[in-house]
Structures are given as C-alpha cells and as structure tokens.
Chains A and B, each alone.
Chain A
C-alpha cells in the first residue's frame, strides 16, 4: 500500500505542534530549535509528494478518501493537482522560514507562538489538500483562529482593532459561503446523491439565477480573502499589527486562499455565473491594481506599503484567472507563488531590520547601505522580484498574466500594465529612502548587518526568485495540465467568455518551436 502522503503532510504539523507543547519553554532556544526541526518534516514530506506527483495528469491525484460522516455524504478526502501543488510547497517552505526568521522577533510566550504557527500551517494545508467541500470549509475556518491569536497576542499596539477587523471580515464572508455551500449540496441531493465531493458537485444542475446567487456568495467570501478593492481595508491593518511571522503567512499563503478557492470552487462550480461576472471582476481587478499601487506610494510605514502592494499584485492574479486562457491562468497560479515569495521576503527583511530598530517608518531610515550591505542587497533583489524585473519570478508571472488576459480584455490589460510603472514607483521610492542617500539617523550607525541565521532564512526565497525567473519550466509544466482540465470543463459548460468567435485558430493552440 502506498503511504498516504497528503495525510502525512497535513497532520505532521498538528502532531508535531502538540508534541512541542510538552517541550520545556525555557530557555527559548529549546522550543525554537525543536519547532524549526519539526517544521522541516512537513516540508520534506511535501518534497516527497512533489517527486510522486505526475506532471502529465491534470486531474486530482495522490487522492485519499475515507468515509467520515456517510449519512451526510461527508468524506475525508484529499487530493492535489496543479493548482494546489506549489501552494502546498510554498506553505511548507514558508513555515520553517518564518520560524527561523522569528527567532528574535517574538520575545514572549515563544513556545505558544511556535505552536500556533504549526497549527496555522495545518489549517492552511488542510484548505489546500481538501477536496471535500465540508472538509475545506472546516479548514478554511480553522485557519482563522491561529492567525487571530498570533495577531491578537503578539501583534502591535493596535492589535485588537486589527484582529477584530480581520476576524469579522473573514467570518462575514464565511457565513455567506456556508449558506451557499449548503444550498449547493442540497440542490445536488435532488439528483439522488448527498455528497460534499467537489468534483461531483461540479456537475450540479442549477438554474441561472441559483448559479448567480451562489457564485456571488462564494465570490464575496473569496474577494475578502484576496482581498479585492473595496473589501481590502482589513489587510493593511492586519499586516501592520501582525508580527513578522504572521505577516509572512498572511501575505504568503492566506491571501492565496482567496484566489485558489476562486479557481477551485467559484469558477468550476458556477461557470456561467463566473463568466457573466467578468465585467465586474475585471473592473475591480484593474481598479485594485492601480488603486493599490497608488495608495502604496505615499505610505510612511514599510509594512503598510507592502500590504497595499499586495492589493495591487493580487489584482494581477485575479486578472489572470479571468483571462479564461491557458497562458493567463497558468501565469496567475504561478504569480500566487511569486507573490508569496517576494512579499514574504519583503516582510521578513523588514522584520529583521525592525528587530534592530523597532521602527518601520521609512523616514527613520536612509543611507543604510553603508552599514548593512547584505540586508540592502537582499532587499534590492526581493524588491526587483516584486516589481517584476525580467530574470526574476515576478516578470514571468506578470508577463503571462498580461499576455493571456490581453486576448479577451485588451483594454483592461492596457490599464493594468501601468501597474508595471506604478509598482516600480512605490517600491523604488521606498528602497531609495531606506537604503540610499546619506545616513540620516544617527541611531542607525551601529546597525548590525544580517547574521547567518537571517541570511539562511531568506536564502531559499532569493534562490526561488531567480529560479522561477530564469527557468520556470518545472513549475509551469505542473500547473498547465490542470489549467487545461479546467478550461475544457468550462468549454463543455459553454463558458469560454467570447473566445470562440474571436480567434478560431486558438482552439488548437499551435506550439511554435522558435527557430
């Protein structure tokens, strides 16, 4: 019998997290080191999963199904495909990175913090591997609590406001989704089977009105998570107040839950409604790109600036999903990873410097290159990844998204491409004011450069920024087949936007081997 690899990945953080609780909390190095070693376990499991993952299959694979609550049609079923595989790896990679990076950031209740980080990992992984709607919903809600604790206990001065805003926003979305989910399952039950299995639910017969209402219930829940303008204001507050580890997980994985779930649920479950919604979704994506970039520009707080940049970048991801095109959606899935890496990297680096100075105000810095050259170089690399310089990961994702989306939405892409300029404007302005110029603040003269631990924590991110930028093929090759499956499902449902009458040649995309 094959080992249930997904279950191993999923439950190892929880089990190890519980074990961690029995480790002595003093000196703090004990739980820290234990947690770091523990967090490597799910990562190695996920590498193993990667090795077993068959890139030629677009459908869910490595599936595990165990009957759970048969009378309600609820099963414990897991699976992985091109949409989730890299997000799973990103999650299992970011957890050790975050634990290593939070070594000095967290000074009180260290063990509990580490426990919550592992529980959070469990929740995120659960939402990614679940292919049962109930199981997904359970994990979707479960993620919220460790994050709320991390924010509420280890957060900054306005942490209660931020936590309440975060929880209420997300819960509001969840409530909508729960109602829609139950309606969907009951609607499907009319066909004779009571099930929460996603793939089966894809074929639920629905009237156009039902489809539209359910779609929007799901969509709003996901828009809040992404977050899409104007439902985004919880994010800057959450990011600003969260400790480094919380910010990294929030930006790195939690936001992706919105776009991932959109791809996994909202679009394939309600293809026609999803198609009908395109003017609205495209509009708010493009507005988000420009608006997020503009609001990011004058931010005096580095974390807040990066938080708004997330709003802008996630607009790109959403635009890519709505390309309804192989290149666009593939790029969009890749961009979820890219954004996780670069934004995660930015938050970690900002966290490192914050540890030393206890300020995130851009105005308190200036001219730090001389004192902290390693920090400055790494910060530059991640910044370049974030603004999508060719050769870094951000370019590959943005290019594919914009190119893919151009086919159906040329004008929207024309506007979105200004994000390329605006993104450079706010990121480079921040970089300039932090790193260049004369050393403004005398307190920074004794700033210590990154130590080995910190460099090791950021190293995988920097490596992946270049890897995906230069040789994205292994990543794309595992995403694309699943995108093809989704698109053929949409085509069968007759929801292909207005592709067919636009370019007949596109039905059989001809691969052009460049001479």
Chain B
C-alpha cells in the first residue's frame, strides 16, 4: 500500500536535529530540551499509526513510500523508497519506543550539561539515521542509515570532545566500522553484477530476496561470498569477532548514548540486516554456519571478559557484545525470528541496565568503578530494583525476557545440529548470570566503598529518569511472553508475526519432542542459575572466598583483565605497521626516491647544460670546426642512405 506517511517517521527526528543545531547556535538549550524528546515521541506516534495500518493488511502486506530516484546511471537504479513490513515494524517500535524513553531520561541525565542542544541534535540525527536503516527498501539506502548511525556514534562517543580519549574512542569506532563497511560495499557490488548475469541487476531488497534461489542455482558460489562479505560488515556494526574492539571503548560517550546506540539499536543493525536478507542467507548454508560460529564464539568470548571488569559500563559493554553474539547465533542457525525476538528483549533489558548504570554514575558524580561503589540499594531503591529486574531478565531467570528469547536461540542451535555453537552459548549463559549479578551485588549491596564526600550526596533520580526505568522494567518482565514455548496460551506469537518477512532454512529439522525442549530449557536455566549462585556466593554471601578464588585463578584473571591482549595484538599487527609503512612511503619513497629522481633529472639537465655551454666559447674557429664536422657527418649519412 502506498502512503506518504512513512517519510515523516524519518523527517520528524531530522527536523529535531535541525532544531537542535539552531538551539545550539543561538544558545537556547531549553528549545532543544523540548524538541529533542518531542520529535522522537511524535515519530513513535506516526510509527504506531503506520503499524496499525500494516496490521489491517494481509500478513505479507507492506506499506511503501516511494520518494524519488536517488542514483541512476546505466543498469543501476536506486530508488529512495521506504517500506514497512512486519520485520520493519518491530524494529520501528523498538527504535522510537525505547528511543523515546531514553530521550526522556536524557532530560534528567544531561541536566547540568551546558551543551545539551548539541547532544539532542546528535541524538535526533541518530534516530533519523537508524530509522532510514530499517525503513530502507534497497541496500544502498540501508547503507545510508548504516553509515549515518556510524557517524552519529562517532560524534556521540566523542561528545565530550575536550578529552582526547573520547575523541580517540569515537575514531576507533568509526574506523572499525569502516573496515566492515568496505566489505559490505564489495558484497553489494558482487551481488549487483551477479544478479545482472542471472536475472535483473538490482540492489532492491525485495528483488534480492526474490532472485536469491535463482542466483544460488546459476552461480552457487555467489550467495556464500556475498553473505560472508555482508557478515564482515555486520561484525563491524554489531561488534562481533573480529571487529568488536571498538564497543568497549565506545562507553566513553554519555550513558544514554550507550543505552540507545550501543545497546538497544545501532549495534543490532547487523542482526537486522541478516534477517532482512534471510532469503539470500538460506541459499548460503556454508556462510550461515560461519555466522552461527562467529555469534557463538563472540557470545562466550565477550562474556568471559565481562566477568572481570571493574567499570560497570564496561561490564555492560562486553555483555552487549556477548548478547548480540546470541542474536547472530540465532540468525546463523536459521532461527531468524528468534534472533529478532532476542534483539527486542535485549533492547529492553540492556537499555534498562545502562540507564541504571547512568543513574548510579549521575548520583556518584561520574564514578563508574564498582570498586568505589557498594551498598547503593538503600539510597537508590528504584534504580536498584529495576537493575535487579533487568539482571534477572538478561540472565534468563524463568518468566523473564531472555528466559524465552535466549532459550529459543539455544534450542534452535541444538535442534539444527549446531551442537558446538549451542554448547558455547550454553556456557555463555552461565557467565551471563555471573557477570550481571556480580555487577548488581558489587554496586547495590554490601558495604559501601564510596568516597564519603560523594556518599553524602547520593540520592534517587528524579521522575523523568525513574519512570523510563520502570517502564523498561515492566517490559523486561512481560516482554518475553510474546514468545511462549510449547504453544502455551498464544504460543510463539512473535515468531508467527514475523514469519511472512523471514525465510525458512532449507532442510529444516522438523519439530523436536517436547521432552527434548524441556530438557534443553531446564539445562539452560540451571546453568544460568548456577552463574547467579556463584556471583551471590562470591560477592554477597561469603566475600572472603574471593581472595582464594583470585589466588587460584591469577593467570586466567590476568588474561581476562587484559582482554586477551587483542587490542595490543591489533596495534602490533595492523596499526603500527601501517603507521610505519606510511612514514616509509612518505619519507623514503616519496621524498627520497621519487623526488630524488625528479631532482636528479633536474641536476643532470643543469650539469648537461653546463657542459654544452662550454661549446659556446665565442671562438669563431671552434664554430667553424663544428660546422665542418656537422657537414661531414651529414654528407656521410646521406651517402649511406643513398647506398641503400
């Protein structure tokens, strides 16, 4: 169905961006404090109306808003078109819904920030870009959003630009993302020309999905290569192995940014992209296995690093990397709907965790090290309780969000025969329970390790910040019920809802028995609860054990604390050699070799001219001799020519 409504979903936050720029320029922070959240709320309303219309259409229907032709030359024709189907509708609700809550929260959080107008301008621009990403009807338009969110991430990580560390972190994010984006571009090119060969050259998402089987039939290697290239793009944006290194550093940005961009929305774009192209991915089972493996490895790998962090936000950052690993694992084993389901749940509980961390940070005047916290629960009851709910949700305590969504992914991994990946995810679940409850106990319970001066001023947050926490807490509890197992009540409602937008992998393994499912579920829950129990033992019940554990695991601890030295490895293997080579090209090749040649030619000419100049002696007899020699030579040459 054609409608011009969709463009307003993007334009409203974009208008907010311009209002924010205007407010920043004219020094009217109060204007941006109004428009910033208002435009996102307005976009949320338009999304609700649009989704309402979508629901009145048949299951595979879509709303389309065709605006103009963007790039057109030769066989390439890219329309600037927005499209909402069921998959997009879920994303839209998350972005504008959770986005609205985070914008409201930011009103309180950025209360004392003089540059608040710039903050809201960036944040609005981010929302706008993210919406383009999910509304796009073609890969290049998706790529506008894809790089647009990257830009906003760059700007917001470096929001407090006066600290060079923040600027460094922003740039690291941008470059890591660009590495992925380069692969993404090559994937697009290969896809385009391959489609030109077998069918219709196009980068339109519908067209790609429709032609995917044909492509797989005629050029079987192409879907695999394209999917792997796009996966590299996803590892950049969604912070997976090997490009995840930017996300922990990205915590340098204001905490609402971490909640919105680096937890709820942007970093899940890779998952969305794979789900969006599910019809192409199912034609590349080999690539799917790689996707699943990357997801599973990242999931466990990041979780191990989360357990030793002292910085609460860093715990959550590694947790995000790990949780996106689950989503990638989900889409990798063909459980696209489960991946999106977990994406949605994660948006609730991870945004909540970050906002709670932000509240703590706000109360402690920027302190984020857990070694300087403790016992905050009594002073900040709402924050503590909502954090606890979110912790239960992420750990997968029965009845809470991730209990359903994570379970669905692990189940799908097991059932589809990805036993190794399943095992990694299962162990990851134990780590999840451990690190998140470690965070909870160290922050909110036990003895206070606060600086007494700071402790005196600790207080609960104002309403504008706590209400979003409470709403997200409710969603973290009940949200998971949209995907119930065993056909309880409405059953897997989210899966049914999404199914028209998503592909089903070939050679589907059919339905496992209820017994198997029950066993898997019990096992996953037991592992998670074991993790929680350990955290409780070490950080709440008998902290004296901690020393023993430290002593026994010092080696492992060092490895984890240094984050496996991956950053150092990248510096040694890539960054430093690049810098050295660049310098060599400049100082060695360009300045010495090439310019040496150039100047050498110049010097030779000068020298040469000096030699020849001597011939111009001014002595007539020399010239006469020269003439004679020339004449003889000429005569000789003529004679030779005539002879032949």
Contact = CB atoms under 8 A, between A and B. Distances in A.
Interface of A: 165, 168, 230, 233-234, 291, 294-295, 297-299, 325-327, 330-331, 367, 369-370, 384, 389-391, 395-396, 399-400, 402-404, 406-407, 410, 413-414, 417-418, 420-421, 424-425, 428-429, 432, 435-439, 470-473, 476-477, 479-480, 483, 503, 505-506, 509-515
Nearest to B586: A295
Given A425-B175, A514-B138, A509 B579 contact: no
B79 A514 contact: yes
A327 B75 contact: yes
Nearest to A511: B77
Nearest to A418: B182
Interface string B126-138: 0000000000011
B192 interface: yes
B151 A509 contact: no
* Range class of the B interface residue count: 35 or more
Contacts of A479: 73
B178 to A, nearest CB: 5
B380 interface: no
B298 to A, nearest CB: 22
Interface in B184-233: 185-186, 188-190, 192-193, 196-197, 200-202, 204, 206-207
B143 interface: yes
B178 A297 contact: no
29 contacts: A233-B590, A291-B585, A295-B590, A298-B582, A326-B73, A369-B161, A384-B151, A403-B192, A404-B76, A406-B189, A414-B186, A420-B181, A421-B181, A424-B174, A436-B161, A437-B161, A438-B164, A471-B68, A473-B70, A476-B71, A479-B73, A509-B74, A511-B72, A513-B77, A514-B78, A514-B137, A514-B202, A514-B204, A515-B204
B338 interface: no
Contact of A403 (B163, B188, B594): B188
Interface in B153-180: 154, 158, 161-164, 166-168, 171, 174-175, 178-179
A391 to B, nearest CB: 6
B594 A511 contact: no
A421 B176 CA distance: 9
Given A390-B148, A424-B175, A437 B598 contact: no
A414 B78 CA distance: 22
Interface in B571-610: 578-579, 581-583, 585-586, 589-590, 594-595, 598, 602
Q: Can you list the 4 inter-chain pairs with the closest CB atoms, starting with the nearest? A: A326-B74, A436-B167, A406-B189, A509-B75
A410 B201 CA distance: 16
B106 to A, nearest CB: 21
B74 A325 contact: yes
Contact of B206 (A295, A403, A515): A515
A254 B62 CA distance: 50
Contact of B190 (A406, A436, A515): A406
B75, B166, B186, B582 — most chain A CB neighbours (10 Å): B75
Nearest to A423: B178
A63 to B, nearest CB: 25
Contacts, number: 182
A131 B162 CA distance: 55
Contacts of A327: 73-76
B144 A391 contact: yes
B73 A402 contact: no
Contacts of B602: 168
Contacts of B75: 326-327, 506, 509-512
B182 A420 contact: yes
Given A428-B174, A436-B158, A230 B68 contact: no
B157 to A, nearest CB: 11
Nearest to A438: B162
Contacts of A513: 77, 79
A437 B167 contact: yes
A394 to B, nearest CB: 11
B207 A515 contact: yes
A330 B73 contact: yes
